[in-house]
A and B are shown apart, each in its own frame.
Chain A
Amino acid sequence: MLGRYLFRRACAAVITLFGVSVLIFLIARIIPGDPARIALGDTATLEQIAQFRKTLRLDDPLPVQYLTYMQGVIKGDLGISIYTGGAVLEDLQRTFPATLELVMVSAMLMIIIGIPLGTLAGRYRDSFIDNFTRLFSLIGVVTPGFVWAVFLLLVFAYWLEILPVTGRLSEGIPPPPHITGLFLIDSAFAGQWATFKDAFLHIIMPGISLSLASIGQTTRMTRANVGESYDRTYIEFARAYGFNEFRIAAKYALRPAMIPTLTILGLDIAIKFGGAFLIETVYAWPGMARYGVRVILHKDLNAIVGVVVIIGFFFVLINLIVDMIVAFVDPRIRLGSRAR
């Protein structure tokens, strides 16, 4: 039963990915105006444009163009970027780890702050901590990440001067040896603690700006769901047994509340790849999202399609992983009963 459920989810994910590739391909091709003209600008000569149309195979019928493109994708070839002059796949490989590191740090913040805070607020509803939490999460949700980014930059980098302004590392500090591409992990592995500290200082502000909205969201979600569990009789039962508050919270209140929260968490992590477009721009973070903004501004078709397809891929992948985790956590799915 579980196997069949996961198989169905995986098939749906593959179909969705296929759709994503068709959608972005269509957007890039059918938008009014000649893509070659758009990419080369108004100063290009007719021959240049004809040549360019040939390299992009723009004169083939659309389905043929799509199939040619997908053939390349399967072989790991996303085409050449006009903006950098290199292969799109290499550009993405180079820039992706920075974005992944940022998204992971922000996802960690979201989980280690959002869930405990939400649980506390759900346990002590209408108390001081609950009101504080609601205000905090509301402010997080309504302030866009890039506004936080600019505010934090102003306060901590310019006024207080305690955090570095932009980038991933300070000048003069060599990047750690490439293992995962995530500087925090690589430098810790290599034992380069000075680099680790520098990378850590650099990721604080971007990480916080990217996570505040989702911390708010997670806190609200957890509060609502935990609050609901505390109204159930099994909590009273656990109290009657004399279990301590922590055990009741972790084992009896939080666990059933985790199932709806997990789904939202997955969605929030996936959305961070979009939010990173703004945050990376503010902090000149050399990641995939900033690359994405650049190629969009340069109307670099292959690179735009590449970035969007990769983001779609991770979105679908993260949701699939979350579905699997939920399936394992939720005995109703794991044991295959249809009681819901």
Chain B
Amino acid sequence: MILVTRFFGSRGWYKFSRNKLSVFGLILVVAFVSVAILAPFITPFPRHAGAFVDFLNASKPPSARNWLGTDLVGRDVLTRVVFGYRVSLQLSVIVLSIAVPLGVIPGLIAGYFGGWWEMIIMRIVDVFLSIPSLVLALAIMGLVKPTLTNAMIAIACMWWPWYTRLLFNITRSIRNEGYVTAAEVVGASHWHILIKEILPNCVPSLLTKMTLDMSFVILLAAGLGFLGLGVQPPTPELGSMIADGANYLPNLSWIPISAGVAILIAVLGFNLVGDGLRDYFGVDV
């Protein structure tokens, strides 16, 4: 709460909500998160989220019983999409909570100390950024067992350099500000300066980038799942649902359409909120 008032101010909501699109995005994000958390209570057939067969109702188009139809083995698509959200949310939150600290610390060090630190850290970042994240994550997933945990580790390993670069740029630009020099003069430790003086100034950019990245991590995970290298069945995952449906086109078209639109809604929400935050804070990420 302190964080919220500190960075958004008392008139924060007024300023943020002036852009109707941002508010729309926020509604989508809140819907996405609450649906994902409440999945077992709000879906019509919670058991269909796992390995379950009901051949009597297999491959049925949308109807009053199954709003988004059923899949090849008779599971309710709506239920699986909602549980797919749960997987996406879990994955993107954990990926970011690994990747952000992993990227922030070297970024602060490279920007603050400069010299050799900067040389070495930023070269490594360049290397990581010169291979598309999807390709590198795919290569890793190909070599390890495709489980949710491994997918999270693989994506997090690809994601930290973006934060290093962001933090490096900000730290370098505020490194010579008066308050940093003042802290140095009174003998504050490097640690104190990095965490208490510099890091708080990076929070607006960090928050904005993290919001936008929620959507990109969801996309990347869906891409992995689509190629069969993400979370494995019977766990419902939006990317692999699209791939399953696409294999039977033009039949079962309601499966890829539902899962595709579901991804679109989640990504759109985080993107709009991210754009709103970018305008709100006036940051450039």
Contacts and interface: CB of A to CB of B under 8 A. Distances in A.
Asked if A and B bind, the verdict is yes
A291 interface: no
Given A16-B126, A153-B249, A142 B132 contact: no
A281 B227 CA distance: 8
A22 B130 CA distance: 13
B131 A150 contact: no
B279 to A, nearest CB: 12
B169 interface: no
Interface in B135-189: 135-136, 138-144
Contacts of B123: 15-16, 19
A293 B227 contact: yes
B142 A299 contact: yes
Interface string A281-299: 1100000000011011101
B253 interface: yes
A19 B124 contact: yes
Taking residues whose C-beta sits less than 8 angstroms from the other chain, chain B's interface range is 35 or more
A128 to B, nearest CB: 17
Interface string B242-265: 100110011001001100100110
Contact of A297 (B132, B142, B256): B142
B246 A38 contact: no
Contacts of A15: 123
Contacts of B267: 142-144
Contacts of B134: 274-275, 277-278
Interface string B198-225: 0000000000000000010001001100
A316 B130 CA distance: 6
Contacts of A274: 132-135
Interface string B9-32: 000000000000000000000000
B74 interface: no
B62 interface: no
Interface stretch (A25-33, A87-95, A110-118, A240-248): A25-33
Contact of A32 (B124, B136, B144, B246): B144
Contacts of B126: 12, 16, 19
A181 interface: no
B107 to A, nearest CB: 18
Contact of B227 (A12, A27, A278): A278
Contact of B246 (A19, A23, A138, A153): A153
B220 to A, nearest CB: 9
Interface of B: 123-124, 126-128, 130-136, 138-144, 215, 219, 222-223, 226-229, 239, 242, 245-246, 249-250, 253, 256-257, 260, 263-264, 267-268, 271-272
Interface of A: 12, 15-17, 19-20, 22-24, 27-28, 31-33, 35, 38, 138, 141-144, 146-147, 150-151, 153-154, 158-159, 270-271, 273-275, 277-278, 281-282, 292-293, 295-297, 299, 304, 307-308, 311-312, 315-316, 319
